[in-house]
Chain A
Amino acid sequence: KAGVTQTPRYLIKTRGQQVTLSCSPISGHRSVSWYQQTPGQGLQFLFEYFSETQRNKGNFPGRFSGRQFSNSRSEMNVSTLELGDSALYLCASSGGPSSYEQYFGPGTRLTVT
């Protein structure tokens, strides 16, 4: 069974630009969560989607948004990029609507210059 895949793995953007990151969950998983990882703040929850609906949202500005498609693949978008958005963005998939063995992808390393 293939694991969680994220594309692209590395990305360099300029301040003010926008970016879209993609996550393909494990086959059959319907929940996708996104996390931001930085040296200063650690791993922080961004949002979670289940069956194309956003169920939970973390404390991030509205510049961070996401969506989930009918095949459970998910995208997150960050608009008007700031230097502080440089981070490793991780997505995790889970089989059901409750926390149980969330499986993480390798992440997308975003650098904003």
Chain B
Amino acid sequence: GESVGLHLPTLSVQEGDNSIINCAYSNSASDYFIWYKQESGKGPQFIIDIRSNMDKRQGQRVTVLLNKTVKHLSLQIAATQPGDSAVYFCAETRLYGNNRLAFGKGNQVVVIP
């Protein structure tokens, strides 16, 4: 499969436990944030997004938290499953009139069965 990154921060988590992945973003003008999951040999897959007028958003087994004060984003995965093993990227952008995403470096999640 594709190697999506070397020397990425790695989170090893036991199957069934919760995972928390953190991301610091750089542009205080960014108002839209997205988490992507990338499995080996595939392109990034949209997981969940959040706009800057929110500080929390929940999806199916995932929650994104946004702290604009310290420019920090986190992704929480509940009851982590082997299929959650992947590289996770946060991305930031300005929402209107702009499709340009700035990606973080990525975090490798390894789920231990």
Q: Which residues of A contact B (CB under 8 A)?
A: 4, 31, 33, 35, 37, 39-40, 42-45, 48, 50, 55-56, 58, 88, 90, 92, 94, 97-107, 109
Contact = CB atoms under 8 A, between A and B. Distances in A.
Contact of A99 (B4, B43, B101): B101
Contacts, number: 86
24 contacts: A33-B100, A35-B101, A37-B4, A39-B3, A39-B6, A42-B104, A43-B101, A45-B100, A56-B100, A88-B4, A90-B43, A92-B99, A94-B99, A97-B99, A98-B95, A98-B96, A98-B97, A98-B99, A99-B101, A100-B49, A101-B46, A102-B46, A104-B43, A106-B42
Given A39-B7, A42-B103, 20 more contacts: A31-B99, A33-B101, A39-B3, A39-B5, A42-B104, A43-B89, A45-B102, A48-B99, A50-B99, A56-B98, A56-B99, A58-B100, A90-B44, A92-B99, A99-B32, A99-B93, A100-B49, A104-B44, A106-B41, A106-B42
Interface of B: 2-7, 32, 34, 36, 41-46, 49, 89, 91, 93-106
Contacts of B6: 39-40
A105 B99 contact: no
Contacts of B101: 33, 35, 43, 45, 92, 99, 102
A31 B82 CA distance: 34
Nearest to B106: A42
A45 B92 CA distance: 12
Listed residue (B98, B101, B102) with the most chain A CB atoms within 10 angstroms of its CB: B101
Contacts of A94: 99
B5 A42 contact: yes
Contacts of B4: 37, 39, 88
B43 to A, nearest CB: 3
A104 B47 CA distance: 12
A13 to B, nearest CB: 18
Contacts of A37: 4
